[in-house]
Amino acid sequence: MSDQPMKKVILITGASSGMGKVTAQTLIAEGHIVYGAARRIANMQDLVEAGGHAIGMDITNETQVQSAVDRILSEQGHIDVLVNNAGLVSPMLHFFDADEAWWRKIIDVNLTGHFLCSHKAARIMAKAGGGNIINMSSGGATRAHRAFTAYDATKG
């Protein structure tokens, strides 16, 4: 038996910036096979240079999510971990200045996108006998902010 930890195939959404980018870089450095997904694929060049894989994907588009999952399955045969990190906080609006389009955009990214990714990954993981889905949150889950009404609701 080897003392080396087993490499995991990991899909991280929102990997073009912030926590997603740092998480991807850390997991690549630990030797895992990391697929970073984001709408801004150009911002993931350093992830590719570090040995990761970049996927252009809008998590609110089921076809794009399926294509990303299909690519990973084609290249690796499985997905061990999904990190639902992609999130949208802006534009920050006071509740009285908000409209339904603003609300739906944030709900679509922060909830529907996580559902679509989880729905695809969970089926693969169930067939394989296990896996992990990690849903990132923030302080918005535990306290309200005047300009983050929709964001706070999605994080809670």
First-to-last alpha carbon distance for the chain, in angstroms, is 42
Query: What is the identity of the amino acid at 127?
Result: K
Neighbours of 69 (CB within 10 A): 24
Task: Please give the distance of CA 39 from its chain centroid, rounded to a whole number.
Answer: 11
The single residue of 151, 152, 154, 155 carrying the catalytic annotation is 151
What CA–CA distance (Å, rounded) separates 40 from 73?
22
Q: Rounded distance, CA 5 to CA 103, Å?
A: 43
Residues 57, 120: Cα–Cα separation, whole Å: 14
Q: Are 16 and 86 in contact (CB under 8 A)?
A: no
Q: Is 35 noted as a catalytic residue in this protein?
A: no
Query: Cα angle at 94 between 90 and 96, to 5 degrees?
Result: 130
Task: Give catalytic residues, as residue numbers.
Answer: 151
